[in-house]
Chains A and B, each alone.
Chain A
């Protein structure tokens, strides 16, 4: 009997290996797939029957007999018929969770390599034109049109050209790159081979963060197996070393070159002088993985879906304190509220949603009053936020937004590459200011509701004090209060003005998005949740 069980890192974290082992012991033919993308039903077991694959989940290692005789209470039926999946438009993730990720036959049988074959039958310019016509924009967060980037590299002169895949998915609340690399690695390989043909490159790098050991393993294995299929193009994986800033494209290039991952000043653009000084296409995993569909199904089919200037689909990731967390690929234009409440089912703790952070540590915090926002690059930018990599982190009403603003500054201080002053020094000064605000706010505000007990246990005991490393308060304390507090006006109003002023400096003065976008979570917390900072809502916000 054929049994399908995910080997995605999230499924394994929930015990999928033990479940797979138990089914194998029972004599089943266990096929390890990627994850379907809904984690509340993991570990998920699918049994092949005459009526198709029937799912059960969550399933434990002791449930083998009940699943095999069909009496297990967590019977889900056909997975693609579940509401969470029936509403999706899976262009990029069509195969993820369905096939054996590293089986070449499976990939070919499910439409794999059609895009590469179509591309290689075309002239490079025609491939670039197709990507332009699809309206595909960079899925890493900046939203720059992919086709225009490719055109620049195609037109550039260089001894060698490179394709670099940015798989340094460091944003909390995002896991789409990881899921794709673990669940359908050939899709990314095919996208990179198409990009190589389009711009005249022969070698490509996939830079994967070290926190993703499963993705590194799967991609290396897949590259080895697909080597003949994509020849003469060659690919290799480079492993990151725990620096968030290496997700910034020029820092990533320096890191591949063996240097400290520091941001480069632009110009020159990486498209003209990128890796080793040569013209380089650097794209996010999801941008490159969208390309095989565009070439095989046509640019029109991709562009037919979407909203405004945001064409195609976005694999949205529902994360944090959300009931039905997971990956939901859908055309742009769906509202934030539909995603959080209708699809995500609200919070996992059962308490009201108070805030959602969209786009990772550098994205804005929005209250439920902003849930009418359509998922669209321009709409989010106009609202003072960003889509980023389309991760949505949900918080319930126990969240202290001043603490989250402090964390944003602290994270920036820990991860700053140190090259530019607004980011390197501004972030530490930002932590100090938020600390002064938290010290000055009325005590009733310092702890909001009870902590999230449904998801953790409620021990609030203080741990041993922290001394060094990337460890938050202990790390920052050394740098704190280097100026005498007695010379500073520590009133709430003065400090919040100072915080806004600092954010302005960081936003416009930083070299890259780390320092430049850290103000988004800080200012949005201040604007939408002033009561957490001990401030009264302004008239403008109250009117909204």
Chain B
């Protein structure tokens, strides 16, 4: 990871405003931002460890622990609720066998809340491994579950 960060800052610069782009890059590379990487990032951008830790923990996107092999981000916002999102949320947790906000014990899938994907007239919506899925019903949940099992 040290090498990756060194290479990244050489290419993009090491100013403070590069912290979020660097955190995104580290997470993309490693899947999460391990606590052990925080001092390396801090040193690379000449910031304190506390400062970097504060930023990592402020933003919902940044994860300090690995997530599942598949990630289902399910929308909890009002427009999806108006289209039956709460029932789908409960059913998704049941069907995938993992609570909202958690990674399943076998590491196969993480179910994460998201507040609006901007597809508000065709909900309930989700991002399944980055792919948008709309109008989620029982059948769509079955397809998602099959994808996760594969």
Bound-state CA distance A414–B17 (Å) is 25
| Contact between chains at B79 and A320 (CB < 8 Å) | yes
What is the chain B residue whose CB lies nearest that of A37?
Answer: B121
Interchain nearest-CB distance for A344 vs B (Å): 9
| Contact between chains at B58 and A9 (CB < 8 Å) | no
Question: Is B148 engaged at the interface, CB distance under 8 Å to the other chain?
Answer: no
Bound-state CA distance A455–B123 (Å) is 9
| Contact between chains at A470 and B122 (CB < 8 Å) | no
Question: Is B44 engaged at the interface, CB distance under 8 Å to the other chain?
Answer: no
Interchain nearest-CB distance for B64 vs A (Å): 12
Residue from the list A12, A13, A258, A458 in contact with B17, Cβ < 8 A = A258
What is the chain B residue whose CB lies nearest that of A327?
Answer: B121
Bound-state CA distance A455–B83 (Å) is 6
Residue from the list B15, B59, B97, B101 in contact with A467, Cβ < 8 A = B101
| Contact between chains at A361 and B94 (CB < 8 Å) | no
Question: Is B108 engaged at the interface, CB distance under 8 Å to the other chain?
Answer: no
List, in ascending order, chain A residues with CB within 8 A of B93's CB: 463-464
Within 8 A of B (CB), among A240-274: 240-244, 255-262
Question: Is B9 engaged at the interface, CB distance under 8 Å to the other chain?
Answer: no
| Contact between chains at A461 and B78 (CB < 8 Å) | no
Interchain nearest-CB distance for B58 vs A (Å): 4
Interchain nearest-CB distance for B82 vs A (Å): 4
Interface size on B, residues (CB 8 A): 65
Question: Is B71 engaged at the interface, CB distance under 8 Å to the other chain?
Answer: no
List, in ascending order, chain A residues with CB within 8 A of B117's CB: 9, 211-212
Interchain nearest-CB distance for B102 vs A (Å): 7
Question: Is A468 engaged at the interface, CB distance under 8 Å to the other chain?
Answer: yes
List, in ascending order, chain A residues with CB within 8 A of B1's CB: none
| Contact between chains at B83 and A175 (CB < 8 Å) | no
> For B17, B115, B138, which residue has the most chain A Cβ atoms within 10 angstroms?
B115
What is the chain A residue whose CB lies nearest that of B126?
Answer: A13
Interface string of B32-64 (1 = CB under 8 A from A): 000000000000010000000011001111100
Contact A357:B125 (CB < 8 A) given known A460-B87, A474-B101: no
Interchain nearest-CB distance for B20 vs A (Å): 6
> For B18, B62, B114, B132, which residue has the most chain A Cβ atoms within 10 angstroms?
B132
List, in ascending order, chain A residues with CB within 8 A of B134's CB: 10, 13-14
| Contact between chains at A172 and B138 (CB < 8 Å) | no
| Contact between chains at A256 and B91 (CB < 8 Å) | no
| Contact between chains at A258 and B55 (CB < 8 Å) | yes
Residue from the list A170, A171, A461, A472 in contact with B91, Cβ < 8 A = A461
List, in ascending order, chain A residues with CB within 8 A of B109's CB: none
Bound-state CA distance A322–B92 (Å) is 24
Interface string of B1-39 (1 = CB under 8 A from A): 000000000000001111111011000000000000000
What is the chain A residue whose CB lies nearest that of B83?
Answer: A455
What is the chain A residue whose CB lies nearest that of B116?
Answer: A172
Contact A242:B59 (CB < 8 A) given known A170-B115, A357-B78: yes
Interface string of A451-472 (1 = CB under 8 A from B): 1110111111111111111111
List, in ascending order, chain B residues with CB within 8 A of A399's CB: 82
Question: Is A174 engaged at the interface, CB distance under 8 Å to the other chain?
Answer: yes
What is the chain A residue whose CB lies nearest that of B122?
Answer: A39
Bound-state CA distance A462–B90 (Å) is 6
Bound-state CA distance A243–B71 (Å) is 19
> For A175, A393, A394, A451, which residue has the most chain B Cβ atoms within 10 angstroms?
A393
| Contact between chains at A463 and B116 (CB < 8 Å) | no
List, in ascending order, chain A residues with CB within 8 A of B23's CB: 241
Interface string of A194-227 (1 = CB under 8 A from B): 0000000000000000111100000000000000
| Contact between chains at A459 and B90 (CB < 8 Å) | yes
| Contact between chains at B101 and A326 (CB < 8 Å) | no
Question: Is B144 engaged at the interface, CB distance under 8 Å to the other chain?
Answer: no
Within 8 A of B (CB), among A314-370: 317-322, 325-326, 348, 357, 360-361
**A-B contacts besides A9-B119, A320-B79, 10 pairs, CB < 8 Å:** A10-B134, A12-B132, A172-B77, A173-B120, A175-B120, A211-B118, A241-B59, A258-B18, A404-B81, A470-B113
Closest 10 CB pairs of A and B: A325-B121, A469-B101, A456-B84, A463-B93, A172-B77, A319-B120, A320-B82, A258-B19, A241-B59, A242-B60
